Each structure stands twice: as C-alpha cells, then as structure tokens.
A and B are shown apart, each in its own frame.
Chain A
Amino acid sequence: MSSGDNSPTSSGERIIYINKPNTQQKFLHNRISTTKYNFFTFLPKFLYEQFSKYANMFFLFTGTQIPYVSPTNPFTTLGTLIVVLTATAFKEILEDYKRHRSDSEVNQRKCKYLDIAAEAFVVKEWNQVNVGDIIRVESGEFFPADLILLSSSEPEGLCYIETSNLDGETNLKIKQATNDTANLTNPEKTSRLAGYIKSETPNNSLYTYDGLLEMDAQNGRKRVPLDPTQLLLRGAQLRNTSWVYGIVIFTGHETKLMRNATATPIKRTSVEKMVNVQIIFLFVILLTMSLACSIGSAVRAMRYSGEMSYIPLTNTNVVTQFLFNILTFIILFNNLIPISLIVTMEVVKFQQALLINDDLDMYYEKTDTPALCRTSSLVEELGQIEYIFSDKTGTLTCNEMEFKQCSIAGIAYADHVEEAKRARIVDGVEVGFHDFKQLRENIRNHPTGNVINEFLSLLSICHTVIPEREDDNPANIIYQASSPDEGALVKGASLLDYVFTTRRPKSVNVRINGVDDEYEILSICEFNSTRKRMSTVVRGPDGKITLYCKGADTVILERLGDDNPFVEQTLQHLEEYATEGLRTLCIAMREVSEEEYRVWSTVYEKASTTLVNRQDELDKAAEMIEKNLFLLGATAIEDKLQDGVPETIHTLQQAGIKIWVLTGDRQETAINIGLSCKLINEEMTLITVNEESHWETKEFLEKRIHSVKGRVNPETEPLALVIDGRTLGFALEKEIEGTFLELATMCKAVICCRVSPLQKALVVKLVKRHLKAILLAIGDGANDVPMIQAAHVGVGISGLEGMQAARSADVSISQFRYLKKLLLVHGAWSYQRLSKLILYSFYKNITLYMTQFWYAFQNGFSGQVIYESWTITYYNVLFTVLPPIVMGVFDQYVSARMLDRYPQLYSLGQKSEFILYLLSIYVFQYGLVLTDGQLADHWFWGTALYTAVLATVLGKAALITDLWTKYTYIAIPGSFIFWMVFIVVYGMVAPRFKVSEEYDGVIPKLFTSPIFYLFILVVPVICLLRDYVWKYVKRMYYARAYHTIQEIQKFNIPDYRPRMEQFQKAIRKVRAVQRLRKSRGFAFSQNESGQEARLIRVYDTTLSKPKG
C-alpha cells in the first residue's frame, strides 16, 4: 500500500501558510467529480466509445453507400444506426447526470471553517474548502479533506476516528495533535496561530505522512515534525470526540482517499459476452451466406451469362466483381446482426434497473433508502450468481453489540425469555433461563446474591470505557468504548443499576442501586490477543483489594483456583451460548491481600518501565497475579445480526449459491457469526486452517483434500472451511491457490477471517480466474471496495454513514436480507427476460433474412431485396421492437411469490442450458421457404411475405411469453395491427412523396386479394405448429421444475412441502446438537495498541471539556 505516488512536483513538497491566504500556489479545489462526461467532452468521447464497438462500426460501414454495390436504400441502414446511437446517448446522459447529482450532494455538504477576521467558525460548503483552511469537525461528521489535527475537545489533543470507509476496520483509531497545538482550543487562539506547514505532495499512501509545522512561538520559530498520528483523512469519521480543529492540506482529488480510488472497471456481463460471441457467430453466418451468394453469382455469370443477355453484366473482371458482390450481400444481410438488440437490451436493462429501484420490498423505511441499481447493464447477472462473497460487519451484522444473557453462579439469565425456555426443574436439574427481573430479585434474596453483586461490579469497573454526559441531559451517560463488546457490557451493567458514572486518572465511580461508590484503580493488565483477557486490580470502598478478570473461557478456566463450584454449569451455559452464536466472556475474580499486591506491584512497575520487550515483561507480570481465580460466571453478547440474515443465507444456500464470508474479525468471532447466521451449522465439519508457513499450508490443504475425497457420503456431511488471513496469504500464492480453491469449492461455506481489503479482492479474483461462475460481492465499507470491484456484481449496503461501498457498487441495498429478492426474483426474472429477448431478437432477424437468403437463389444471386428497403428498416425499429421490450420488462416466467417459495428455481440461471435449448429451436425454425405468389408482382409478393414473416415472428413472441399484461397485448397483437394500418397508409401516401415508390399501387391490390389473407393466416400456423406441439410435449412429458411451478402458480395448488422440510430440519438440528463442536468466540474487539491503559488514565470525566 505504501507505493507512494511520486508525482513530479517541482520541489516534492508543498508549503501551506496558516491563517494566510494561500494564493501564491495553485492548489486543487475540493470539488470532486466522478462523472464520465462534461458538456464539451460528451460528443467526442461518446462517439469514440460507441464506434469502438464492433457492431456499431459494422453498421457505420454498411451505412456508407457505394453506388451500385448497395442493394438497399442508403438511408435505411444509417437511419437505424442513428436511432440506436441517440437512444444510447440518452441513456448515457441520464446515468451521468445521476453521478453528477450524487457528486454535488457530497460537494454541497456543510462544514465549519475558521474565519480569521471574525475569529469564529463559519459554515461553508465542502467544495469551498481550500488548502490552508482551518476546519472544525464535530462528532459523527466526516472530514471534508485531508487535515492535520491541531487540537480537540479531548485531553492532550486526542481524538477517535473511524476509518472503516478507508480500511474497513471498525474499531476506533486514536489520533493525537502535537503538544504545541493541542492547546488551541478556541477560535481566538487558533486564529492567532501563524506559520506554515511544509507538507509532502499528494500521494495515495494511506498510512504514511511526512510534514513539518513551522510556527511562530514566543522564542522565535518552532519546528514541529508531523507524522500520520496527526493526519485525518477524508473519508474517515470523527467519533467519540465532540470536536477537532484541523488544517486542510490536501483537497478534492488530491486527497489520499481519492488518490486511492481506482477508475471503476467496466464490467461486462457474461450474457453480454455471450451475445458478442453470438454476434460474431452470426457474422460468420453472414459471411458464409454472402460468400455462398457471391459464388452463386460468379457461377451464374460464367455459365449462364448468355441466358441473361437481357441483363448485360458489367465488364469488370471476375475477381473485382466477386469482391463487390460479397460487399453487396453483406450489406443486404446486414440486419442479420441485430443492431436493435443492443439498444433494446440497454432500454430493457435500464427499465429493469428502475424496477429494482422501485421495489417496495427492498425499501428500508428506517433510513428511507430504496434499493439503487447503479449499473443497469449488470441486472441479468443477478440471476446467475453462484458465489457470494460477503463482508461481515455492517453487512451481516449491524455492528451493534447487545448484552443478552449471562450465567452467574451457575444460573442462566437472559434479558428476554420465551415461555418455552423458562427455568423449570427437569429430573431434579434446573434447566432454562431466568429473566433479568429475576436477576435483580436474586441480588437481594438469593444465596448467590453476593456472587451476582461481584459479577456486576466487575462489569462496571473492569474495562477501558469512558463515560460521557450529554450537555443538555447530564443524567444520560454515553459510554465511549473502542471495543463495542465492552461498551455493551458496561451498558448492560448500568441497566441492572450498576451504573459506571465517572472516570478519573486513578479511580472510577460506580453508582450501585443509587449509591455512589468510588473504586481506586490500582493496576490494569491490558487485553491483547495472546492473553485473551484483561484484568484490573482495584481497591474497593471497603479498602479491600480485588482482582477482576474477564477473558476467553479457555484462558480463564486454566487459571481457576480449586474451590470453584460453578464451573460445571457455567461451561454448560457457555456451550449453549455458543450454539446460538453469542460471543462469550468468562468473568472471574480474586481477593488480593495487601502484601501480595505490594510485592506484585513492584514487579509490575519494573516491567512497565522496561525498554526491551516491555510487552512480554508486562504479560509475565500479569500472569503472576492472574491465578487462583474464582469463576463468577459468563456473559453472552449478541453481535446483532441484521434482520433476516439467517433466513436469507439459508434461502440463498437452497438456491445453490455458495456463500463465503470475508471478514477482518478474529477467527472465533467469525465462526460465531457464521453459526448465528446459519452459514455454518452443527452438522457441518469445520476445516480450520491456521498454518505458519507456505509448506505447512500446502501440506495441510493437500491432506485435507485427500481425506475429503475419500469420504463415502459427501452429501450428508457438508463441509465448512475456516481460514485466517495469514494462512490465506500463503494459500493465495501461485503454487497453492489451485489446491486451496479445490478444497474451498468442496465446502458449502467458507469463512476467511482477519483478511485485509486487498486479500478480499484477491480471493474474489482467484475464484473469478479459475471458475466460470458468476460472483457477487457484498459489503458496506471502503475496505470492501476492491472486492466489490473485482466481483462480477458488486453490491453495497447503503443507508449507514459510510457510502463508499455503495457508491462504487453496481447495486446498493440497505439490508442484507434484500439480497434474497434481488437475486431470486429480480435476478432470475432479468435473466429469463434477457435470454428471451436476445434469442427472440436473433430469431426474428434470422427469420426475416433467411427468406432473403433463399430468395437470392431465385433472383440469380443478384442481391435484389424482396422487401422494400424502408420497410426492412421499420421491421427492427417499429414492428418488432415492442415484443422484445415488453418481454424484457413484463414477462414473469414464475411469479415473485413462487420464486421466493422455491429458491431452487434459481439454478436455472446458473446452468445456462436454457439459452442453448431455445436457440436450437430457433435455428430450425427459419424454414419459411418461399411458397407462392406467381400472379402478383414483386412488391405485392414481398409485402405479403413480409406480413407473413411478421405474423410468424409475433406469433412466436406470443408463444414464448409467459405472462400477458396489458402491455403485452399492446406489443404483440398491437404490433401486427399497427403494421396492417401502417402499410395501408404508408403504401398509399409515401409513393406520392417519392419515398418507397415500390409501393405504388400495391396496397389496393393486396388488401382486396383473399389470397393475401389466407396466406398470412396459414404461414404462421404452419411455422408455429411445431413450436406449439413441442412446447406442449415438453410441458406434459418432459416437464422441468419451472413447468410444474408455473402450474402450481396458475392453479393455486397448495404445497406443504417447504414447511415439511423446515420441520425435518428442526428435528435434524435437535439431533445434531450433541455433535456440537466447541468453538466459542469471545468478546473482545478492541485495539491492541498497548496504550489503552495510558489513555484512560488521561481522562478525568469530572472536568468539563473545552467547548472549542
């Protein structure tokens, strides 16, 4: 990540004057723009883009007319192209306008900057922010540009920021101003600051910064070095800090965030790719047809030129003539390549995207966010997803922790207890839960009341949380915790009347049942990932010294003393919590004698002043006192899942989609979430990969694959793979990746934990490279952006503060559960609709042009057209344009309800045989061989044939339409009626204006001839009879799942099966509980900075903070 962008600025640095105008240098404005075009670049850029598409180039070429070579009217081909380009341009403008609007929304956000003259902060818009401005940012706000932190509301210029938008880490990060500026806590002082900042030039490295603040002080100039600790990046958010002052150093597109934004890659869908392949295929057909006709023409010219003496052939040489003929035929058959298809597809996809946006089922009322489909060209991919790569935090979970249950002294309590789970005595043993009301009761009356008291005291004392009182409502305390788990515990305790109120450097105050007690904090042994626990040594109000300790069950259980009556029950409860996917912590304590503490504290003191290996020394010291603990119980915190996540995952799995969770969390937490959202369940065999090196990883994976392959019954024992970030790093190396992927694809679920944003993208790319599957990535933070961009379809969770992911995603939804409808209904429909649309477009053009091809045999391969040129043009743009669009927008092969009930139907899209099967029908279907028409003239016959072709093609549309809405009626019979009316009017009027003169006189003859009507009736019946029979036979005797479900839908047949299935599942689950694997997550997610203890000692919440 640290590959700095070495932009060759003159000096390699920029000088930013503080509180002085920075006009001498041209700094970039803070306006961002992600649009593709502007007013001036639109035309050249657009045309360039369009004509770099082969199809358009081809049509431009056929549109350019060479006299004598072109068989058709010169304007007809160009006309279509112009219509197509106009439609595309319209769509491009519309999409770009949307981008422009979302940009300007960001650009117009408000922030406060220091007006030096007024010595006060004044509101202005983000796009007005300049380099050198001093900005005031308040809690919860985003930084409008890259800033250097000057001061904050917190002691010593500290502030917390959340960088999940930048790197996806949800824990808060600490930034600190330099000592020299930390005292600038009001606008007056700040506006007197003078000097300049010598800064590095803009680059894309998020984690490095070099600068120098040169400020005027009493004793002359003072140089203060600046480093990343002072850097506040655009995209990050200020948290738990009421305000900060910062000086703007990089703006707009020069910010590190924007420098990191890679151009959104253009994604092409697999259907589009297939269309391209088919267009090439059609082009080959076209060439073959042209070649065949040209050869025919040459043969005629050589063998029968005498017979054709009434048509003197031009005396050019045979080869030139041959080449010219090929050209002629290419132009003649050019519409075999469906020019309208591309634009029809665009229109339809655009409309489908609108329908996604308008879906009420995907509208989240709480945040007022509907779904938003940004890249409409990808809609049909939604119907073919085989793998989903999901982020965890913010996507599956709400990132909200809740203290749900606890086990104290072997008795289980829960905040809400369902009737069925209430505590009762079974076989002399108490099972079930008490509720928290009972807990309060028990403190006073139960024999274990004492234990409960200690338990809750521990929760309110042993932590690193900082309490904050709201200014307008001092009774209300907000707990600022860098670890959400701890916050949840403290908050939980406070709800049980153990309210943590005040933190001072050496003590904390806790109000227990209304009585304020002060506890002296003697020592804090911090949490880190090797210790997996934290402990606090406190002196209570009664003067006794107590060690409070909380941590992962494994580490606590090792350190228990001999007299521990509650271990058995607590373990049992832990097991239950784990099954439910709760995050657990064991709570233990020990009374420490004065003497012991005195001895220990010297050891600890010494350790904390060591310069080498201080962390190890501290750990060792802590180890000495954390022993002989007494287990009080355990807590269970729910990492709250978003609504409907387990159901959604279950349904998606039923639909045959494999789900991989990629998370930055630690392994235990990840497994926990996996369990709670039903991604993995008790039946599954977990394969956990934690290896230290390349070779170990390789060996392990190979061994596993071997044993997995050897299993007798792979269906009944699904696998789940859990791999951590480091091992993943090895597994993604070239040599092993194949093996890794092989194992991973054998698993029903894959969880990758502790992965970096880059690794997320690498995993996605790996799967993309090796499998032909369509991948979807879903996430909410900027750390998911690489993954979202790498996948075929990127979905962003919108509605929360961070919009980074949503903005770079192809589709944004506000809740994970909407994925179900998005994929199973919209995706499936889109795919079906587009498949039909594409095949139908091919069909209709092939049908029309095959008649033209056969005709070549009968006109001496001269390239004569049967149909009048303009009429051919109208074929694609008027008479057959509606059925594909209506099919594309309104057709529903099965209703939304059915798709929801039978997720298995989704697999239709994954196997793309559907398309092949239909195509095979279509290709056989062109056989509209010329039949009759000897009496009438050329154009009479041509028009009749055209009508018959149209009737056939529209009849085909009617046959393949599954759902007839009023628009379908307009499109299918409507198109035909439109043609009949049109040709009468057009054929009578147009020749008078010297357009389509071929029609002169044809119409009265045509429409008075009974043969005409009989002809156009029987031709479609003959052509479609086979289709009709085929369709019927397929439904009756070779029925596929969707046939049956269509019938269920049509006749409203009740189906109890899905419910039966669930019942069976439930039974299976009960049976499987015994096989439960022990993998409990414990609830710590805080920083391992090693300075938490120091930080909390800085706070004294009894003092009032500067107002800023």
Chain B
Amino acid sequence: MAPETKSREPANTAFKQQRLKAWQPILTPKTVLPTFFIVGVIFAPLGGLLLWASNSVTELAIDYTYCDSREFISATFPQVSSSQPDIKWSREVVATEEFKYTNSGVWRCHLQFRVPSELKPPLFIYYRLTNFYQNHRSYVKSFNANQLKGVAVPADQLKTSCGPMAVNNDNPPKIIYPCGLIANSIFNDTISNLTFQQNADGIPTNNETYILLSKDISWPSDRQKYGLTSYELNQIVPPPDWANAYPNGTYTADAPPPDLSTNELFQVWMRTAGLPDFRKLYSRNDTTALQAGLYDVSIDYRFPVTRYGGTKAFVLSTVSFLGGKNSFLGLAYIAVGIACVVLGAIFTARHLYKPRKLGDHTYLSWNNTQGHTNGN
C-alpha cells in the first residue's frame, strides 16, 4: 500500500451522517389541544367579522329574465321582508337606436324597487347571468389580442384564434371585427340610470336621476389592451349578433365600429368568468349616496338569455372593505372555529378522563406476549 493514498473514509459531517439538527414534531396532547383552541379562538371571531362585513353590504337583485314574456319577476332584497310588494315592473316596446335598421322595437323593462335605507357610495350595478358558459374551452380562447389592440390582422391569421367567428360568409369573406365568440355574444342589454320616484316617507319626488356611469368598471390593466382599429371600413363587418345595431349589418361612416379602448363594457365582457354563473359590473357611482325610497330603472331587453337556458338579473350593491357580499367565507371560518373548539373539548375531556402515557414501553406490540395489539 502506498502510504500517500487518499483515505476513502467518508466525511464526518452532520449531513452525510444524517445527524442534522432537526425538530421532531409529535402530535401530543400538550401541543394538539392548545392548537385546537387557538385555531378556534382565532377563526370563529374572524368568521364573525367576515359575516358582519358581508352583511353590511346591501345587495338588491332582481331577476328580469322573463320580463319580456311572463308576469313574474323574482327579487331578493335581504334587508326588507320578502312579503313587501315593493318590486314592480312594467314593459313596453320602444324604438331604440336600432329601430332605424331593423324596423322592430325592443322590450324595455321598467323595474321599480324600494331602497329601505340610504346607501353610501360607491354603489355598483351588476348584471348577473346563470348557465352561461364563458368558461367553455372553445369560447375562452376565441379572440384575437392583436385585432383588439387595433392591428389590422389579416383574415387568415384570425382563423386560428377566432375560429368560426373570424370571417363572414360573403364572397370574398369579410373580417369580423371584433372577431371571436366572446365579442359576438356580448351582453347587450342597456341598463338606465335610476330614477328617484318616492322618498322613504312615500312622498313623490320630482324624478331626480341617480347617475350611474360605465366608467372605471374594467380592470385598469385591460384598458391598455384595446385600441381603435386600423382596418378599413370595407374590410370588416360587425359580429353576427351585433348586426341589428348597424345598418344592414355593416359598418358605415355613420355607424362606425366601436372604439374598444373606451368601451369598458366590452372590456369587462372580454374578461371571461370562471364559472357559468357569474356577474359583471355594469356601471357605478362613486360619489353620491342613494337615498332611501322608491326607484325606477329601465332595461332594454336584447340579450336572449332564455335561449341559452339561463337567467339574468339586475343587481344593485354596495361594498365593504372585503368587497361584495359573500357570507360563505365568514360561515366557513365560523364553522372551522367551532369545529376546532368542539374537537379540542372532546379530546381534552378524553385526555383528562383517561390519559395515555406517552412513550410507554408496554404499548410496544412485541412486548405484549398475547399479541392483542398486533396487526391491523
């Protein structure tokens, strides 16, 4: 043996010898029982707070799905007893903008509702859709970001992103702008401002208007994604479902394509919802409080929700520091808190009544010659 050969002795380090300093957590009564109580003590009040915050949000939802056909509108107005027959509605056919092109009017729903107490700003108007699959795989990806940005994307490049909603059936085909399924199926009901009919005491007012604007309703980041299109007018047509709003279903100088960069309703719609029941912000008022009393809102009924097998609703809501109304989270916290306290109590009782000695050798199965603790 050469004396200089390097020894192959392994290094004596904590890592290699697996002697790293370590903490060995063991679930003993000493640690587990306090944990239960601590979690309970933190979660239950937190849940209470959440629930309180959620309840401090006033939310009024009026389902107007069948406003065009049936004599019924459901409403939820949590702070007022549901028997209060304050929700009224009427409908009429009106000649809106598109009457010029279609020669047929649309239904306008008038909803009348009572606001029981003054609502502090900001105040939000949402529309709520159910059974609408904005999260469908073919739907979600059916848009072209460049086109929305304003780039005049040629037809062949649109086919992959916008699929069947890229070009129309003309010969030669014209580009649909904005292309894609999302844009085509935009929610196109118009929700008006609120009209103050009576104050809280039932005294008629002089039809003051509570102004709601569709501004600052999209995510700030989204506004940069849209621009004025650089297509020539004759290259493009509106999506099929938009046709009624344009003369002969085409864009003209008088009826130009919309400026998407300022059309926040469009931007909101384009941010697809994750679940088939969702709501989207329509308009808001950040400054004026809404006095208690009776209000009117009129909605031009265009979005064919019954055909989609769903419903739509008008939602008026305030927010708390936590956002919108959401009692689930609060309840979940309370439930967890209570469950922990109950479990803690049960285990404490059990532990006091019949404690188990930790690390007792007699529990080792091989020390019990009878072997009754073996197996299983």
Interface residues of A (CB under 8 A from B): 67, 71, 304, 306-314, 328, 355, 357-360, 363, 365, 368-370, 858-860, 862-864, 866, 890, 892, 896, 902, 904, 930-942, 961-968, 997, 1000-1001, 1004-1005, 1009-1011, 1014-1015, 1018, 1021-1022, 1025, 1028-1029, 1031-1032, 1035-1037, 1039-1041, 1043-1051, 1053, 1055, 1057
Contacts and interface: CB of A to CB of B under 8 A. Distances in A.
B353 interface: no
16 contacts: A355-B18, A358-B17, A859-B133, A864-B140, A890-B20, A934-B278, A938-B272, A964-B25, A1018-B333, A1018-B336, A1025-B339, A1032-B27, A1032-B347, A1047-B28, A1050-B26, A1057-B364
B329 interface: yes
B41 to A, nearest CB: 14
A41 B7 CA distance: 35
B76 interface: no
B309 A307 contact: yes
A307 B308 contact: yes
Which of B219, B279, B310, B321 has the most CB atoms of chain A within a 10 A radius of its CB? B219
Contact of A360 (B9, B23, B276): B9
Nearest to A863: B137
Interface residues of B, number: 87
A312 B164 contact: yes
A932 B329 contact: yes
Which of B24, B279, B309, B366 has the most CB atoms of chain A within a 10 A radius of its CB? B24
Contact of B336 (A360, A964, A1025, A1039): A1025
A964 B26 contact: no
Contacts of B9: 360, 363, 365, 368, 370
Contacts of A357: 10
B136 interface: yes
Contacts of B328: 931-932
Given A357-B10, A1000-B221, A1044-B361, A904 B323 contact: no
Contacts of B139: 310-311, 862
A1018 B326 CA distance: 14
A1057 to B, nearest CB: 5
Nearest to A1019: B332
Nearest to A361: B17
Interface string B19-46: 0111111111100100000010001001
B158 interface: no
B24 A363 contact: no
A1025 B340 contact: yes
A741 to B, nearest CB: 24
B356 A1021 contact: no
B116 interface: no
A1029 B10 contact: no
B343 interface: yes
A937 B271 contact: yes
A718 B178 CA distance: 87
B343 A864 contact: no
Contact of B358 (A860, A1032, A1047): A1047
B364 A309 contact: no
A868 to B, nearest CB: 12
B329 A1011 contact: yes
Which of B135, B219, B225, B307 has the most CB atoms of chain A within a 10 A radius of its CB? B135
B277 A934 contact: yes
Contacts of A939: 274
B213 interface: no
Given A858-B276, A860-B276, A933-B275, A308 B358 contact: no
B280 to A, nearest CB: 9
B308 A310 contact: yes
A859 B323 contact: no
Contacts of A1015: 329
Interface in B116-155: 131-140, 145
Contacts of B24: 962-964, 1046, 1049-1050
Contacts of B287: none
Contacts of A904: 364-366
Given A859-B133, A964-B22, A1011-B323, 6 more contacts: A308-B308, A360-B12, A858-B276, A939-B274, A1041-B364, A1051-B358
B181 interface: yes
Contact of A860 (B20, B133, B219, B225): B133
A859 B220 CA distance: 27
Interface string B253-280: 0000000000000000001111111110
A1050 B359 contact: yes
Contacts of B20: 890, 965-967
B189 to A, nearest CB: 15
B322 interface: yes
B324 A935 contact: yes
Contacts of B274: 866, 933, 936-942
A942 to B, nearest CB: 6
A306 B5 CA distance: 83
B184 A310 contact: yes
B26 A938 contact: no
Given A963-B22, A1025-B336, A1035-B27, A308 B8 contact: no
A935 B356 contact: no
Which 10 A-B residue pairs are closest in the complex by CB-CB distance? A1001-B221, A1047-B359, A307-B309, A310-B185, A862-B137, A938-B274, A358-B16, A864-B137, A941-B274, A358-B10
A1031 B27 contact: yes
B275 to A, nearest CB: 6
